A and B are shown apart, each in its own frame.
Chain A
Amino acid sequence: MHRAAPLAVLVLALAFPLAVHEPYYLSFASRILVYALAASSLNLVLGYGGMISFGHAAFVGTGAYVSSMFIAEGITSAWIGWPAAVAASAAVALAIGAVSLRTRGAYFIMITLGFAQMMFFLVNSMKAYGGDEGLSLPARATGLGIDLGSDVVFYYTALALLAAGVYALHRLAHSRFGRVIGAIRENEARAEAIGFPVYRYKLACFVIAGAAGGLAGVLLASHGKYVNPNVLHWTQSGTLMVMVILGGVGRLWGGIVGAAALLGLEDLIANHRVEWLASMLPNYQQHSGLGVGIVLLAIVLFAPQGIAGAFARRRRA
């Protein structure tokens, strides 16, 4: 991507709340920012690390739940609740990664999926925190020296964290650590033979991504002032994977492009009536999953490099 493009996107994102005052679209834009952070964190493991983790919702959900539990217990300060939630996600990622990374290929996919389902069922049975009905919060967290209760302030907070996250991802990818992770992805046996502690590098990558996913979870719960076990369901992990693949696996902007594309597509189908489609299927807008599914399938079959990849190839040609 051209050097000026990230700046242009950032300026547009900064100006958005000034230009659009409708609460629905501000909330929608915030949701994209939050999911972009979650998808970018998954992209670190999936794209940069080459580890097909099918349980990323476990870390997002841990962040969402731990931060919400602090508020439910009366500790509303984000200074305490947010770092604790991120630390909890990192700890969960350390435990899951330590076991899962001993397996390879399809077994790794399945064991991360299994761990995430375990977390899902555990949270489901936490009756003290709403069980399967979820946990509604009276208000967002306080602190950080800002009024998080305001939707505009929340938008800018999410934007700042996403920008910081993507910048960190960029720096990480170009650091020594990132080169080693890339080498392991390309040829694990060779990296091992050169003398890198492959297992520890992969585990570190997994934990960093888990912590970042936890931060996205904190924002997710805070955004809707509500959290339920479905944030940990395996279809949520699948949705995050879809975003990464849509946006471009292992591309810096993949998470952002993918989150915006998928959420935008859902919103487009659900809220913008197309007459000729409606004449064939009158209430097609209630079935946005069908449209999303067909578009996804078409992308996998015909544009395997994702949206970003399709553009990149055209430019080179």
Chain B
Amino acid sequence: MSWVLILEQLLNGLQFGLMLFLLAAGLTLVFGIMDMINLAHGSLYMLGAFLAAALVQATGSFVLGVLLAVPATAVIGMLLEVSVLRTLYARDHLSQVLATFALILIFNEAVRIVWGSDLPLSMPAALSGPVELLPGMFYPAYRLLIIGVGAAVAALLYLLVARTRVGMLVRAGASNREMALAMGVDVRRLFTLLFGVGAALCAVAGALLGPLLAVQVGMGENILILAFVVIVIGGIGSIRGALVGAVLVGLVDTIGRAFLPLLFGLFFQPRVASAAGPAIASVLAYLLMVAVLYFRPRGLFPARG
């Protein structure tokens, strides 16, 4: 096992973590401010990927297709918020889970009716080759792009939340919604806007991950649960927590899958190692969540004081 391999897996983990952050950022704010469990967040990720694939096909340009898909998904997200989700804020968690579960079914079938079960989406040809990062170390250019875009969006989001007036209102809403309302913040409008931003981030993640994974119906469902794991680890409502949680989960998941089978091979018989290695690796992220919640039942960075 060489350091090149380790570095490569670290970058893969960072890349996955940043994409998870894009999903988790919107989710944690929605969850934190409105105390709303939105299972349909994964559907927006799927929708963003499908829109990107369709628009890339229609325009013939990867960049243009993705750039169009992001605002389109944001508009759909805001429409969804105004039409359905808004009425759910005052309801209990159980109703929210049921209603957004219903939305998953609706979105899955609607996408299947419009586009079928999957769409092809390939990375731009210019980025399909490897880049020599260090002497003797090659890394796929496209994954590097994902890391770059993910980091840039994360930084932008941080500036938006930490340095602007809108961000201040969002943080005020997350730490104490009633107080923010009493101080005259128009939480309703703020929230529609926030929801659009969350949907746009979903679309970015969906469009960028599309060529690496697959653009298919149901793609949002497993990654949604991982995004929930991220925000629970980070503390619901905390952007900083979402970033730390996402990178942690991305690294643990990727590194675990790459090296745990090898590690087990050192200590156990090959038969046991080949069976147990992948099994343990696939649950590492969940084990991490359980461990964090056991010691810090409100996550690493609780948003509410």
Residues of B with C-beta under 8 A to A46: 94
78-117 of chain A: CB within 8 A of chain B = 99, 102-107, 109-111, 113-115, 117
Q: Does B106 lie within 8 Å of A300, measured CB to CB? A: no
A103 touches B106 (CB 8 A): no
Contact B228 A110 (CB under 8 A): yes
A40 to chain B, nearest CB (A): 17
Question: A300 touching B283 by the CB < 8 A rule?
Answer: no
A110 and B290 contact, CB distance less than 8 A: no
Residue pair B113, A281 in contact (C-beta under 8 Å):
yes
Residues in B with CB closer than 8 Å to A301 are: 84, 87, 99
B275 within 8 A of A: yes
CB–CB A296/B105 < 8 A = yes
Kindly state whether residue B121 has any CB partner on chain A within 8 Å. Answer: no
Q: Are B98 and A102 in contact (CB under 8 A)?
A: no
Q: Is the CB of A297 within 8 A of B112?
A: no
Q: How far is the CA of A179 from the CA of B158 in the complex (A)?
A: 49
Closest to A293 in B: B105
Distance between Cα atoms of A110 and B87 in the complex (Å): 23
Interface size class of B (residues with CB under 8 A): 35 or more
Contact of A300 among B37, B99, B275, B286 (CB under 8 A): B99
Chain A nearest CB, measured from B181 CB (Å)? 21
Q: Does chain B have a CB within 8 A of A125?
A: yes
Say if the beta carbon of A218 comes within 8 Å of chain B: no
A249→B93 CA distance, assembly (Å): 13
Q: Distance (Å) between the CB of A255 and the closest chain B CB?
A: 15
Contact B283 A106, beta carbon cutoff 8 Å: no
Docked Cα-Cα span, A297 to B203, in Å, equals 24
> For the complex, what is the distance from the CA of A75 to the CA of B55, rounded to whole Å?
56
B97-115: contact bitstring with A at CB < 8 Å (1 yes, 0 no)? 1110111111011101100
- Residue from B95, B112, B286 within 8 A of A117 (CB atoms): B286
- Contact indicator per residue, chain B 268-296, by CB within 8 Å of chain A (1) or not (0): 00000001001100110011011001100
Closest residue to A47 on the B side, CB-wise? B94
A149 located at the interface, meaning its Cβ lies under 8 Å from any Cβ of chain B in the complex = no
Given contacts A293-B103, A296-B98, contact A105 B93 (CB under 8 A): yes
- Closest residue of chain B to A246, judged by CB? B98
Instruction: Kindly state the separation between the CA atoms of A292 and B221 in the bound complex, as whole angstroms.
Output: 18
A130 to B42, CA, bound (A): 29
When the two chains form their complex, are residues A114 and B286 in contact, meaning their CB atoms are under 8 A apart? Answer: yes
B residues within 8 A CB of A235?
104, 221
Instruction: Give the contacting residue for A125; candidates B87, B112, B275; CB below 8 A.
Output: B275
Extra inter-chain contacts (14) besides given A52-B93, A109-B93, A245-B94, CB under 8 Å: A103-B297, A107-B293, A109-B37, A110-B229, A110-B232, A110-B289, A121-B286, A125-B278, A242-B102, A293-B102, A293-B106, A296-B99, A297-B99, A304-B91
Binding site for B on A (CB under 8 A): 46, 52, 54, 99, 102-107, 109-111, 113-115, 117-118, 121-122, 124-128, 234-235, 238, 241-242, 245, 249, 281, 287, 289-290, 292-294, 296-297, 300-301, 304
28 A-B pairs within 8 Å (CB atoms) are namely A52-B93, A52-B97, A99-B290, A104-B297, A106-B37, A107-B232, A109-B93, A111-B232, A111-B293, A114-B232, A117-B283, A117-B286, A118-B283, A118-B286, A118-B287, A122-B283, A124-B282, A127-B275, A238-B101, A249-B94, A287-B109, A289-B105, A290-B105, A290-B109, A290-B113, A293-B104, A296-B99, A300-B95
